């Protein structure tokens, strides 16, 4: 006989915050979060100081899995060009899903506006880590201006993610050639 272990109220709140804030936006109400998690408001406020802290904790909890999915393994043996294109191939693959609404970390920053919001700080950290990955790879690949190229790659990543997220663009066959042209212009192998 197997006994199913029910997730703790904290885990259920974190999961509800991840799902609802991505699907409905960060303005999702406390009542909706509690209802989705099957917990009382009292429980939410016993576990988290505020809804803002719950959103930040939810983003932080999901960041390692997102990063592991998006970035190639450190020891994959790929060239800098291959490693960078891996990231954009992942985004293209994710963008065709009907529930795709763009990069959740970018969306949070756009919706919240305040860089001091706890969830914005978490999102900024995730985006900064991606920029640092790009910077390290383009430098390793011999880019003439690694700082500029890393910033350009972030603009392509965020712009493509946002356009696909609002249904304005099908990224299939668009993003990788764009990134390839940027890498070619800088001589990245």
In a domain? residue 61? yes
In a domain? residue 2? no
In a domain? residue 17? no
Length reported for the chain:
189
Give the pLDDT confidence score for residue 2 in this predicted structure.
Answer: 58
Give the pLDDT confidence score for residue 153 in this predicted structure.
Answer: 98
C-alpha closest to that of 104 among 26, 186, 171, 173: 26
**How large is the C-alpha radius of gyration of the chain?**
19
In a domain? residue 30? no
> What's the domain count of the chain?
1
Give the pLDDT confidence score for residue 6 in this predicted structure.
Answer: 82
Tell me the pLDDT tens digit for each residue of 27-38. Answer: 999 999 999 999
Mean pLDDT, range 141-156, rounded to an integer: 97
In a domain? residue 116? yes
Structural domain harbouring 126: 57-185
Distance CA 159, CA 139 (A): 23
The pair of structure tokens assigned to 93 is 């693959």
- 72 contact partners, CB below 8 Å, separation of at least 6: 78, 82, 83, 86, 87
For 49, left (φ over 0), alpha (ψ -120 to 50), or beta?
alpha
110: pLDDT strictly greater than 80 = yes
In a domain? residue 5? no
In a domain? residue 89? yes
C-alpha closest to that of 166 among 85, 110, 86: 110
Mean pLDDT of all residues in the chain?
95
In a domain? residue 42? no
The pair of structure tokens assigned to 22 is 């991505």
First and final C-alpha spacing in the chain = 56
Handedness of CA 186, 172, 103, 63 (dihedral sign): negative
Q: What is the CATH number of the domain that holds 159?
A: 1.10.357.10
Contacts 24+ apart (CB under 8 A), 145-149: 145/186, 149/182, 149/183, 149/186, 149/188
């Amino acid at each position: 006989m197997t006994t199913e272990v029910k997730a703790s109220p904290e885990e259920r709140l974190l999961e509800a915050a991840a799902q609802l804030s991505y699907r409905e936006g960060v303005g999702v109400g406390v009542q909706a979060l509690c209802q989705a998690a099957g917990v009382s408001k009292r429980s939410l406020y016993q576990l988290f100081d505020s809804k803002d802290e719950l959103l930040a904790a939810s983003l932080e909890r999901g960041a390692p899995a997102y990063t592991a999915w998006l970035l190639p393994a450190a020891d994959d043996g790929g060239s800098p060009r291959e490693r960078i294109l891996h990231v954009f191939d992942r985004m293209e693959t994710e963008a065709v899903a009907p529930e795709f609404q763009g990069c959740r970390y970018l969306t949070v920053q756009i919706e919240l506006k305040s860089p001091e919001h706890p969830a914005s700080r978490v999102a900024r950290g995730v985006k900064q880590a991606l920029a640092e990955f790009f910077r390290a790879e383009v430098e390793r690949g011999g880019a003439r201006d690694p700082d500029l190229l890393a910033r350009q790659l972030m603009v392509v990543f965020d712009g493509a993610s946002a356009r696909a997220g609002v249904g304005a663009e099908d990224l299939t066959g668009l993003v990788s050639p764009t990134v390839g042209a940027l890498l070619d212009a800088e001589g990245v192998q």
